[in-house]
């Protein structure tokens, strides 16, 4: 059986705060590089970085190719320091 929902106006997010595109998608913005790793394949090595994205917790990070991230988000690599 369905119960009537009592709305809470404090949970409403203004539409101006979220940049939603016409196709109802939005772009995640990387916040920080957390870790680096090198994966060795048979014939080459692939450099990967662990990326923390905006609006996600630390547990929800992704491994991305370092080369792609440097092309799209060079500002994350400008500090020159390697995260621990």
Summarised one tens digit per residue, pLDDT across range 30-74 is 888 999 999 999 999 999 999 988 776 556 788 999 999 999 998
What pLDDT does residue 3 have? 77
pLDDT at 77 over 80: yes
Distance, CA of 24 to CA of 22 (rounded, Å): 5
In order of their start, the domains of the chain are 29-79 (2.40.50)
User: Which burial class, exposed, middle or buried, applies to 51 when counting CB atoms under 10 A from its CB (0-12, 13-18, 19+)?
Assistant: buried
Average pLDDT (18-39) is: 80
pLDDT at 12 over 80: no
Whole-structure pTM over 0.75, yes or no?
no
């Amino acid at each position: 059986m369905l119960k009537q929902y009592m709305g809470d106006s404090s949970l409403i997010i203004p539409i101006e705060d979220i940049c939603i595109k016409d196709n109802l998608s939005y772009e995640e913005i990387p916040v920080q590089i957390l870790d680096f790793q090198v994966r060795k394949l048979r014939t080459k090595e692939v450099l990967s970085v662990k990326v923390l994205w905006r609006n996600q917790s630390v547990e929800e990070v992704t491994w991305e190719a370092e080369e792609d991230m440097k092309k799209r988000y060079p500002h994350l690599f400008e500090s020159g320091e390697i995260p621990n």
